[in-house]
Structure 1
């Protein structure tokens, strides 16, 4: 194909690995909720019977569908095409919350948040191990993994995270452990 590597917030799953190669993990995230400031739901119980926006085709959509069915909370999922449409649903109050990966929600809140209009819930309800998705090519995957492992081992990943995420770039405990575990020796 025309693309060698997809460098986005792509969650590694077993089903995706059936079709594509993935690098070592590059980030660990998890789905949470973005809501209008002041509403402050502490758990899914706090939004029983509400409408939650979720982008179609994402791992968060699948997780929310399972969670809503299992917990019987009467939550209605509003399926949207992208993050902008989800934010619009929050702004016009057709949705009480927006479910997505925390990093996506933080970015959405910062870029479209009109100051402090939105808050990201502290709790996460999924595990999202990100990796670089690529065409099947063992040599390419090895070159990418070798580079990532070297960045992790040397500590050079710190300035990279700081550059891209600014004050949000300081790794938390889970990301620190991921970096340690993926800093494979040569």
Structure 2
């Protein structure tokens, strides 16, 4: 899928970025490849028209426009590439995707393979359970089955916690967040562990959202960021500068209001998620540091 950007005069800060293999390729092809998720509500997902929408996707489009301006291109084609938790890093590394903006956690371990932009969101890792399940925190999972989305930081955290606590918890791995919720809703799992923002997104998509609750003391705090290839500081600088402008200008707050405080597709459900202190601080002072765990 691709769309051509209309001609627009570059801003006063626009400039070529020599020495960047990513920018040089984009300039030569007039095309940027953006990786997106298919079911990471409300960050990056398909709406009822099978169009990519979401908070992270809108930020990616702002970055694409900044790239177009920095390269002085009259138009830029955006190629949208669906990615999963399993293949998002390989597709960035091998050049299929130039920038992946979805719900990817910035970790020190991942920095060995890819680079990360300024953080775009702060989340905590919790549990989604049936309102009548009796589960209120992680110790209540003993002897139960928990689903996580395969290849995520949550899966690694859960397996490490089980090993440390000798909790006797059985783990199922969903192929994506939608699949994980289906395993929960079908009764095959008693809880779905994931980043709280994504859990609220799955709850919002449910037939009866009130049947589900997000519970538990956060097992971690995570910083989401856009992912790009390592060793390309010039491209990272364009990405970071674009995100910093969106955050400091107040536009990021308006995007947060749009995707977390108002009805969103596909069912018009409001996640009703107020801006957290941690995210407000990030908007004031953008940075590319991974969040610290409690």
TM-score w.r.t. length of structure 2: 0.59
Please name the residue that 1:144 is paired with: 239
Tell me the secondary structure at the aligned position of residue 246 of structure 2.
helix
Please name the residue that 2:194 is paired with: 100
Q: CA deviation at 1:162?
A: 1.3
The equivalences for 1:49-64 within 5 A come to 49-64=143-158
Give every structure 1 segment of 4 or more consecutive aligned residues whose post-TM-superposition deviation is greater than 4 Å.
Answer: none
Tell me the secondary structure at the aligned position of residue 174 of structure 1.
helix
Tell me the secondary structure at the aligned position of residue 109 of structure 2.
helix
Out of 134, 142, 152, the residue aligned to residue 228 of structure 2 is: 134
User: CA offsets per residue over residues 132-172 of structure 1, 9 Å max, x none?
Assistant: 10123212210111122222222221112112223445311
Please name the residue that 2:96 is paired with: 2
Q: Distance in 1 between matches of 2:96 and 2:163?
A: 39
User: CA offsets per residue over residues 9-52 of structure 1, 9 Å max, x none?
Assistant: 00011222122121111111121100011224222122211110
TM-score w.r.t. length of structure 1: 0.90
Q: Distance in 1 between matches of 2:218 and 2:287?
A: 26
The equivalences for 1:12-161 within 5 A come to 12-136=106-230, 137-161=232-256
Q: Measured at CA, do residues 79 and 2 of structure 1 come closer, stay the same or move farther in structure 2, by a change above 3 Å?
A: closer
Please name the residue that 2:260 is paired with: 165
Unaligned runs of 5+ in 2: 1-94, 263-271, 289-294
Please name the residue that 1:174 is paired with: 278
Q: Distance in 2 between matches of 1:71 and 1:122?
A: 16
Q: Distance in 2 between matches of 1:125 and 1:113?
A: 28
RMSD: 1.9
* Higher normalized helix content (fraction of residues): 1
Unaligned runs of 5+ in 1: none
- Return the structure number with greater relative CO, CA threshold 8 A, min gap 6: 1
Contact persistence 1:22–1:132 (CA under 8 A) = yes
Contact persistence 1:29–1:103 (CA under 8 A) = yes
